[in-house]
Structure formats: C-alpha cells, structure tokens
Structure 1
Amino acid sequence: MTVRFWGVRGSIPCPGPHTVRYGGNTPCVEIQVGGSRFIFDGGTGLRVLGESLLEQMPIEAHLFFTHTHWDHIQGFPFFSPAFIKGNCFHIYGTLGPNHQTIEKRLTAQMLHPNFPVPLQVMAGNLKFHNLAVGESREIDEVTISNASLNHPGESVGYRIDWQGLTVSYLTDTEHHSGQIDPNVLKLADQADILIYDCTYTDEEYHEPGNDKIGWGHSTWQEAVKIAKAVNAKQLILFHHDPTHDDNFLDDISQKVQQAFPNSVMAQESLVLTLEPVLI
C-alpha cells in the first residue's frame, strides 16, 4: 500500500518562493494497493498527478471526493487523463446540499461562464457513483468507508482498509469542544496512517477578535489528541493554511514531534509505504 501526496494545501493554491518545500497545490492524495489506484479529492494537485499518469496509460482509477468546495475540485477540469479515450475513472461522492449528485456538481463547475470546456468533452469513460453517508464499499479487496464530518456545507472522511492496514483521510473537519467526534474516532481507530486537517494552531483558532471557530477546520493540537486517542501509528498533518509558509510549518513540525514523535508534515511528493503483516 503506497500513499502519495500531490496537493496538501487548503482553501486556495499558494505557489511561490515561501511554499516551495511543502508545496502550494490544494488537496489530492493517491493510494495504490496492488494493481488498484485510489485518488482522494481533486484539488490542483490532481492536475499534477494527471500529468504523471500520461506515461502509464491506459489508466483505470477510483476518485473519491470528500466534498465540493473549490479547493477540492478545482483540479478536475485540468485532469488530462480524463480527456483521453481508453482511460476509465470511477468517481464517487455523497449527495450534496439539495441532494445534488457528484456528477451534477462537477458538471456545473465546468459550465459557461465558469469554464470554457464542458465535462462532456472528456473522452475518458467516467462512471459516477453516489455514496450514502456511512456507507462502506468493497473495491478490489479494499474496503472504503465514509462518515460525515463537521464542516460547513457537508463533508465526509474516508477510511481505507486492506489486509489489516488502514489509512484514514480526515480533512476539512472542525473538532468539537471538549470531546472527539465519534465519526472521527470510528474512521481513525488504530489507523496505520492518520491524515488529519491541521489548518490552524490553537492560538489562531481562538485568536481574540479573529477566531476561526465555525470555519470548519481543526488544529495540530487536536490532531495529536486524536492520534493518541485512537492509537494511530503515524500522524500526517494536512490541509495547511495558505498563509503558513515553509518556516512556519517547520516550527509546527518541531512542536508536533515533541507531542507525537511519529508525525510528519504533509508535503508534495511525500510517499509512504505500508507492508501487510504476513501470518
């Protein structure tokens, strides 16, 4: 099981000299298990992933969306392999506000005047699948489970299980004061890799006159609390705030290491590999 990060920022892409080491692309995480490829979210990191896939065609992959805020879908219209006949993409998402399907929301993003090329121009075989909140699906011996998270406009997190290994992808969620969200506990329980929304620090989250309460994101301090509560083996801090430059993230990394030594700040091109335990 290989986990690769193609986009690790939240809210908006932030390329520039101060974000070179961690990267400025918005969320996209790729997980390869055996011969199967799973992609989580379609931020601008999806465009970069797509360019790398052009050398491996034909491609079949499963693309799961947590929700359809811009930073999680804005790479989809620039996903080159989807425009090429012979490639196949299974696209999954829960129903959004007003019961809109993932197909309808991705289609709307690419309509005039928002975008010059409609989704229907994509020549790849796009197969859309509606997920129920709380549903689990078996795909090529991999179990993908979801649960709702605390985020404006609705969002879900995912748990990926394969041969005793677990990756938890929990981005765009705001912690609850005084207790851990039961859905977070369920999705993250005993995770080998816990990828968690750490957009803010506690100081930023509670800053007088400029707090981030109700914005739908969490802090690295809460991530550590959750990782310890679920006995996660490794914690990956994800969805970095666009105002947090490389030096700021370095400083957070040092603090997190002291609180939870087996932790890593997500950065573009980071690759993690898990081997199943043979009994």
Structure 2
Amino acid sequence: MSSIQHQFTVHFWGVRGSIACPGAETVRYGGNTPCVEMRVGGTRLIFDGGTGLRVLGQSLLSQMPVEAYMFFTHSHWDHIQGFPFFVPAFVKGNRFHVYGAVAPNGSTIEQRLNDQMLHPNFPVPLQIMGAQLSFNDLEIGKTVEIGDIVVETALLNHPGEAVGYRVNWKGYAAAYITDTEHFPDRLDENVAWLARNADVMIYDATYTDEEYYSKTTSKEGWGHSTWQEAVKVAKAAKVKKLVIFHHDPLHNDDFLDRVGEEAAQQFPNCVMAREGLSIQLIPPSEDHNNAASDSSSVKEAKVSA
C-alpha cells in the first residue's frame, strides 16, 4: 500500500474572506479567498471554491486525470468565484462530485454555480466544462460517506445559511467551520459538535473582539466571528490544533502577525492560516491506526502559481 493511502493532510490554497486582496501587504498570508484541500487516505476533498481554487487547479494539471469531492459551505461570491477558473473542470476525463445545501430560496448548488457563469456575468456557460460533474444536494445534519471517510455536516450562523463540515477517518478528524457568527451568551452547539476533540479545527476568525463589538463600526450581524471566540471554542471542544482562518481583507501581514502572537498566548497550538500551509494529521513515524496525537506536524508545501 502506498504511503499516500496512510496520510491525512490539510492544505490551504485560499485563506481570505469577503474579497481577494493581492498586494504588497498580503504577501506572507496570501490574498486568495477560501479553498482548502484535504487528502484523506488517497481521496481528494476540496472545501469551497474561492479564488484559491484557481491556484489549486493549476497544481492539478500535472496530476490528471483527477477525481475530487467538492464541498461548498455556501455560495457567497468569495466562496464560489474561483469555480469558473478551475481549469481541471474543463478537461475531459476528470471527475468532480459537487456537494452543497439547498439555499433558503430553494436554489441548488448546481443552479447557483450555473448562474454565476451565465451572460452577462461570464463569457462561457458551466455546460462547456468537459469534466464529469455530478451535483449532490446536502441535507444539513446528515453525513456523507466516501468509502471509509465520514463527512458530518451542521448548520452555521450566517446570513443566507452556511454549512460546517467535519471529516472523520480512522480515528482522526478535521473540522472546517467558516462563515459563522458566534452567540454572545453561549457556545454554538453546532460548532462545538463539529469541533469536538478534533485534531484540527479551521475556524472563521475574521475580526478581533475590538472590531466586532466596536460602538462605531460594529460587525454584529455580519455573519463572522473573532479569534478570541475561536480560542474559546478550541478550549471547550478540546481541539488539538486551532487554525485561524477567513482573514479580513483589511488585515495586512503585520496585523495578522500580531493576531497570531496573541492567539498563541491563549492557545499555544494555534496557527494562522496562510497560502501554502500544509498540516499533516498523521505523523510520518506513526502507524496510521494509532490514535490522534497532539504532535500533528505542520510543514510548508510548495504552491504552484
């Protein structure tokens, strides 16, 4: 059996929220919007299709034919705008299984991805994509089984709704919890459930508490959380590694450096999401059947431009 079938890795291709923000002040963390790839026992899972999906697509061109399972949290622009530029989807022989919940207005994920590529928004329609695309409507709260991988889902607190995910495999777990707003007086039960004892929790920490509760520019009701709340969830849910994610486009590299330092003081096993970051849940020296360990290794992985 090849070594890749013993691996559970999480790779970050886009870590920003709201809008892509390339520039001199966002070089270290990156300016692409959300896209996270998980390689689980040889199976490729992709979470969200922000502009980071384009970069992932370029890296996959040397690995075709490609099969992947794509999970969307919701269809706000920053989470789908990379899909029309995902080159492998245009190549015959590739296969993509696409999952997303039906929106409150009744539209499916297929309809929403299709609509963003209609004239006058985009020059070519989704139907021109040559890969085999299968679209699946998620029922929030139900699980998706892909071989021996179990993907759990839960509703998040976000305008227009969003879905949180937890990937379980051989005793390991990674939680992807983005575009959710915390409750001021209690822990969100859905978030805590997704995060329970997770080896890695990726959490929407767009703001600081100071920004969120500001008397002049309050972010209450905007659908996002803070790094301070991320720490609370991580501690309460007994998370092993916390990843601060969905950075505000106004937060430059220096600002994020400071957030990372403050967050690490409160939760030592905390890292700031950045493009190129790769987290390996199963240490190479350990057998893949062993229980998850606090010593999940973090390494830099090359990102193809």
User: Is the pair's TM-score, using the shorter chain for normalization, greater than 0.5?
Assistant: yes
1:23 aligns with 2:30: yes
Which residue of the partner structure matches residue 9 of structure 1? 16
* Equivalent-residue separation in structure 2 for 1:19 and 1:238 (angstroms): 14
Q: Any idea what SS the aligned residue of 1:180 has?
A: coil
1:105-184 paired onto structure 2 within 5 Å: 105-184=112-191
Which residue of the partner structure matches residue 57 of structure 2? 50
1:277: Cα distance to partner? 4.1
1:35 to 42, 57, 62: 42
Q: How many residues align?
A: 279
Q: Any idea what SS the aligned residue of 2:25 has?
A: coil
Which residue of the partner structure matches residue 243 of structure 1? 250
Q: Which amino acid aligns with 2:145?
A: E
* Equivalent-residue separation in structure 2 for 1:112 and 1:15 (angstroms): 27
Which residue of the partner structure matches residue 225 of structure 1? 232
Q: What TM-score, normalized by structure 2, do the two folds share?
A: 0.91
1:278 aligns with 2:290: yes
Q: Any idea what SS the aligned residue of 2:20 has?
A: coil
1:180-195 paired onto structure 2 within 5 Å: 180-195=187-202
1:278: Cα distance to partner? 2.8
**Kept after mapping to 2: 8 A contact 1:36/1:140:** no
1:204 aligns with 2:211: yes
Which residue of the partner structure matches residue 260 of structure 1? 267
Which residue of the partner structure matches residue 70 of structure 2? 63
Q: Which amino acid aligns with 1:263?
A: C
Q: Which 4+ residue blocks in structure 1 deviate beyond 4 angstroms?
A: none
Q: Which amino acid aligns with 2:157?
A: N
Q: Any idea what SS the aligned residue of 1:158 has?
A: strand
2:92 to 85, 109, 121: 85
Q: Which runs of 5+ in 2 are unaligned?
A: 1-7, 283-287, 292-305
Q: Say what the alpha-carbon RMSD is for the aligned residues.
A: 0.7
Q: What TM-score, normalized by structure 1, do the two folds share?
A: 0.99
* Equivalent-residue separation in structure 1 for 2:86 and 2:147 (angstroms): 24
* Equivalent-residue separation in structure 2 for 1:278 and 1:202 (angstroms): 38
% identical aligned pairs: 62
1:236: Cα distance to partner? 0.1
Q: Which runs of 5+ in 1 are unaligned?
A: none
1:99 aligns with 2:96: no
* Equivalent-residue separation in structure 2 for 1:9 and 1:140 (angstroms): 31
